[in-house]
């Protein structure tokens, strides 16, 4: 049953890993400017650790246990590299944009709302990660309470990213 669906399990993880490596390369090229050095270098180190953790899971699935479908069904270090690391990094970036929006608009309401929504998504991500730690198999994620937390986390994170993009577009156009 599972062997026939191995491409459906392993393919998305492989593509995600490739995207992560590509985006890490983009981030590496952005470290050169000296403004916001601490944040940029902190983000770089954080993303190197994140990529290392993702690569560890990929090595297990595609190299060490190649041909065995079981590792593709395990969560590995996803509890930390997924919700916790991604939630914290997105919260940092969203708060950076909240600061930028405040600098452009001088509106405590807009920037404060973004900070609050960002804190909500970060909290849901961390709680989901903590709950995910005790889950060892992927199919158990789909049927548990952690799935709802992940959906809320990703939805709120997407919403605050969209709000940031709209506000920055409006503020950038001078209207």
The SS3 assignment for 2 reads: coil
- The model's pLDDT over 136-162, given as tens digits with 9 standing for 90+, comes to 777 777 777 888 999 999 999 999 999
Residue 70 sits in the same domain as residue 25:
yes
Residue 23 sits in the same domain as residue 43:
yes
**Cβ-contact 116, 163 below 8 angstroms:** no
- The model's pLDDT over 53-107, given as tens digits with 9 standing for 90+, comes to 988 888 888 888 888 888 878 888 888 988 999 999 999 999 999 999 999 999 9
- Cα–Cα distance measured from residue 79 to residue 125, given in angstroms and rounded to the nearest whole number: 10
pLDDT for position 160: 96
Q: Pick from 24-28, 112-116, 171-175 the range whose average pLDDT is largest.
A: 112-116
Residue 148 sits in the same domain as residue 86:
yes
* Structure tokens given for 132: 């995910």
- The model's pLDDT over 33-50, given as tens digits with 9 standing for 90+, comes to 666 778 888 888 999 999
Last residue of one domain, picked from the residues 74, 105, 125: 74
Residue 94 sits in the same domain as residue 70:
no
pLDDT for position 101: 93
Structural domain including 60 reads 1-74
Last residue of one domain, picked from the residues 55, 74, 93: 74
Last residue of one domain, picked from the residues 40, 74, 108: 74
Residue 122 sits in the same domain as residue 92:
yes
Tokens 């405040």 belong to residue:
102
Beta bridge partners of 11: none
Name the domain count of the chain. Answer: 2
């Amino acid at each position: 049953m599972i062997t026939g669906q191995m491409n459906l399990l392993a393919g998305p993880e492989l593509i995600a890993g490739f995207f992560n490596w590509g985006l890490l390369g983009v981030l590496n090229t952005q470290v050169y400017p000296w403004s916001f050095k601490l944040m940029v270098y902190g983000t770089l180190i954080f993303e190197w650790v994140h990529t290392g953790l993702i690569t560890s899971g990929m090595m297990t699935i595609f190299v060490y246990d190649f041909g065995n479908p079981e590792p593709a069904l395990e969560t590995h270090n996803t509890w930390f590299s997924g919700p916790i690391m991604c939630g914290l990094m997105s919260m940092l970036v969203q708060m950076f944009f909240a600061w930028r929006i405040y600098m452009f608009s001088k509106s405590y309401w807009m920037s404060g709302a973004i900070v609050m929504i960002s804190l909500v998504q970060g909290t849901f991500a961390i709680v989901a990660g903590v709950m995910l730690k005790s889950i060892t198999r992927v199919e158990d994620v789909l049927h548990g309470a952690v799935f709802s937390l992940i959906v809320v986390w990703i939805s709120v994170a997407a919403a605050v990213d969209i709000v940031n993009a709209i506000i920055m577009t409006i503020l950038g156009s001078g209207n």
